[in-house]
Chains A and B, each alone.
Chain A
Amino acid sequence: MTVCYLDYNATAPLRPAAKAAMIAALEVEANPSSLHRPGRAARALVEEVREAVAALVGAKPLEVLFTAGATEANNLCLAGTKAASVFASAGEHESVLAALQGTTLPLLPDGRLDLDALENLLKTAEQPVLLSLQAANNETGVVQPVAEALALVKAVGGWLHCDAVQAVGRLDPALWSEADYVSLSAHKIGGPKGVGALILRDAAPLAPLLRGGGQERRLRAGTENVAAIAGFGAAALAVAECWRAEAERTRSLRDRFEAGLRALAPDAAVFGGDAERLPNTSCFAFPGQRAETLLIKLDLAGVFVSSGSACSSGKVERSHVLTAMGIAPHLAEGALRFSFGWNSSEAEVDQALAALAGCLKRGERAVA
């Protein structure tokens, strides 16, 4: 059976250049903090990647802190802030919402942050404030009004944290490059799991979460994950070079998929479809169909997708993102996410559509 993996927002397959860089880096036997020659070689490798990651997001190398991934980067930013009050949109990733000690802001029905609500809250909030707003949502792909939110936050002298994990390689970095803090993940751009970064603008204050040997400008202790960092660097270079072309290619695949979807079921609801979305993401439901049932059928047909975020330990729960958008529970429980990426093909789109058609034909369309 041919299988197709269309779950790039959960994780992307490793790019060949990243794999090669990692295998080479596994041969590096030294600790980058050691002063001897092999130690200095390991250090040079880490610093080269810091430059590549900085260039990818329009930052300076010194502003890049390597972490174990975006969950740590998000936690580090929210736990280490010096803000007196912290806000986050209700559609943020679990790693932001769980770390948040503050207030969530509502989403509009189209999935975007309610900027009026933000403006009102900022008037009475204890200053300085930190707002955590993702560049684009991991479930629906909805692009957030980062520039507008940044202007409101800056007007009161606050800081903006932007979780750009899903947006890197899919949207223009100008969207988040002015944010004070930016979270990145290697494995969502075709790099390895186990490494990410928090970008920290010069003036942005931060207290460390992991203390110890003083690595990463004393803001994140621990021996650098050299091989994974090398893979991150190779992925960053590849993405910097080809992201526009890749974004256009995945957009055409996604649009082909959604055209097929509408032909298959004219009543399919595409979530966030009224807003600007990531070019690679399609989140939808067939009224009356439950996600669990569809996922099992798709899995048997070799089509690997998800019902939303991969993190929620296997339980298919109603998405907090869709709930915040005001989607009715019976529809939200049917949500499926198809996400395309660097290695996706038209043949896979067609296989996915055929599998969905099979699901709908076999499954009796229950009354909602």
Chain B
Amino acid sequence: MKTDAEQPIYLDNQATTACDPAVVEAMLPFFTQAFGNPHSVEHAYGRAAEEAVEAARAQIAELIGAEPREVIFTSGATESNNLAIKGAARFRARLGRRKVVTLASEHKCVLESARALAGEGFAVEILPVGADGLVDLERLDAALDEETALVSVMAANNEIGTLQPLAEIAALAHAKGVWLHSDAAQAAGKIPFDVRSLDLDLVSLSSHKLYGPKGIGALFVRRRPRVRLEPLFSGGGQERGLRSGTLAPALCVGFGVAAELAGKAQAPEAARLWDLHRRLLDGLRAGLPNMIENGHPSERLPGNVNITLPGIDAQALMAAVPELALSTGSACSSASIEPSYVLRAIGLDEASARCSLRVGLGRWTAVEEIDRAVGLILAAVARLQAAA
């Protein structure tokens, strides 16, 4: 997308995505002409803002096959995950369900929310995943019981792209009355994702992972059978009392348009990303035959490439190719030099984890950029090996 030669090629689309120009266009009127507080229904400015927020809610609901009133706006997927996990657990604790189950490869905000609950006296079980990143359904079934409030399993992993079998997990959970929450920040809009066919109770969404603005996300809260939560923010009672605070119509509208665009383009865009994904791997493997792709070979998110280059330190490699914006893993923790806990969870030793790189392809990634990236990475590896 960027033609400026000074700008690196952006290959970090799991960390965040650039807003689609159509999204920015749709947001603009809500910065000025339509600036009302959507809760000021006493006047026309407020009502116009409210209508726009409701239209966006419907677009987001449509993307995941939900009813509009099942969608709650939040400030992002971190808040959605915190609200879903803490809110459901605290609500169900009154009825004797005081246990939460999740996986070791979940996003940090899921694991931290579970740890916070452990601090409140909840039983928390964090299950291991296989070498491909998949949940072990038998172990999961054994961990779930009549005292479990919630199981949280992400749809697509943010580092290695592995897709979890959510419908099967839902069947196991519901057999014991356990609610299933899924962090779909990476998956929604990128793969077919329908809350009804997957039988999900709570789903977290992020706008900025699907070419919408940062600062807004959503939580799907199932109505039938009814899923209930204790809110994290109290106050004006917005969002059906589940999330107080003035909504930001510009951000809601941007998210809504992003959801609609992603939904319409999902199948062809996924196919295009698969082609780029394979092209990148084939190109790199030609020069680096011992390269390993992390995650599941087929059950994975198109465009989310995660590779180990044995003997090549990933930090050194990234420093050697400033022309590319790459990452070693989740942006939330990338300021720390600790190797990825997700890679450790799928069995990589520390040395291999340090030699691993995430390449996130996206809507704006062009074939020529893939070819250029392959050339730059192979040349940098050769330089690093020569210097060693």
Give the interface of A toward B (CB within 8 A). Answer: 3, 5, 7, 10-14, 18-19, 22-23, 26-31, 33-39, 67-72, 74-75, 79, 93-96, 98-99, 185, 187, 192-195, 209-215, 221-229, 295, 298-299, 304-307, 309-314, 316
Contact = CB atoms under 8 A, between A and B. Distances in A.
Contact of B108 (A35, A38, A79, A212): A212
List of 4 A-B pairs having minimum Cβ-Cβ separation, nearest first: A213-B332, A311-B236, A225-B215, A212-B109
Interface string B16-41: 11110000100110011001110111
Nearest to A35: B334
B235 A95 contact: yes
Contact of B82 (A212, A307, A316): A212
Interface in B287-332: 318, 322, 324-327, 330-332
Given A221-B109, A313-B39, 18 more contacts: A5-B43, A29-B18, A30-B15, A33-B331, A34-B12, A68-B75, A68-B215, A71-B245, A75-B235, A209-B82, A210-B109, A223-B206, A225-B213, A228-B215, A229-B215, A306-B40, A311-B235, A312-B236
A225 B334 contact: no
Contacts of A224: 214-215
Interface in B205-241: 206, 208, 213-216, 232-238
A99 B233 CA distance: 7
A11 B16 contact: no
B215 A34 contact: no
B331 A31 contact: yes
A132 B249 CA distance: 29
A211 B42 contact: no
A255 B109 CA distance: 50
A290 B41 CA distance: 17
Contacts of B325: 30, 34, 36-39
Given A95-B244, A313-B236, A314-B42, A212 B251 contact: no
Contact of A193 (B18, B113, B251, B333): B251
Interface of B: 7-8, 10, 12, 15-19, 24, 27-28, 31-32, 35-37, 39-46, 74-79, 81-82, 107-110, 112-113, 115-116, 206, 208, 213-216, 232-238, 244-251, 318, 322, 324-327, 330-335
A31 B158 CA distance: 14
Nearest to A42: B16
A31 B185 CA distance: 15
A7 B238 CA distance: 19
B104 to A, nearest CB: 16
B90 to A, nearest CB: 12
Contact of B17 (A29, A215, A312, A314): A29
Contacts of B206: 223
A36 B24 contact: no
Contacts of B330: 213
Given A225-B215, A314-B41, A34 B208 contact: no
A5 B44 CA distance: 10
A343 to B, nearest CB: 10
25 contacts: A5-B45, A7-B45, A11-B36, A18-B31, A22-B31, A33-B335, A34-B16, A36-B324, A37-B322, A71-B236, A72-B75, A94-B244, A98-B237, A99-B234, A194-B251, A209-B232, A213-B78, A222-B77, A223-B16, A223-B331, A225-B251, A228-B214, A310-B39, A311-B235, A311-B238
Contact of B10 (A29, A225, A314, A316): A29
Nearest to B235: A95
Nearest to A33: B331
Contacts of B251: 192-194, 225, 228
Contacts of B81: 212
Given A19-B32, A36-B327, A213-B332, A223 B208 contact: yes
Contacts of A195: 215, 248
Nearest to B236: A311
A210 B327 contact: no
Contacts of A70: 245
Contacts of B76: 68, 222-223, 225
Nearest to A41: B7
A194 B37 contact: no
A228 B213 CA distance: 9
B18 A214 contact: no
Given A71-B244, A193-B248, A222-B76, A38 B10 contact: yes
A311 B248 contact: no
Given A95-B245, A98-B244, A192-B248, A304 B31 contact: no
Given A30-B15, A192-B31, A75 B79 contact: no
A156 to B, nearest CB: 27
A168 to B, nearest CB: 16
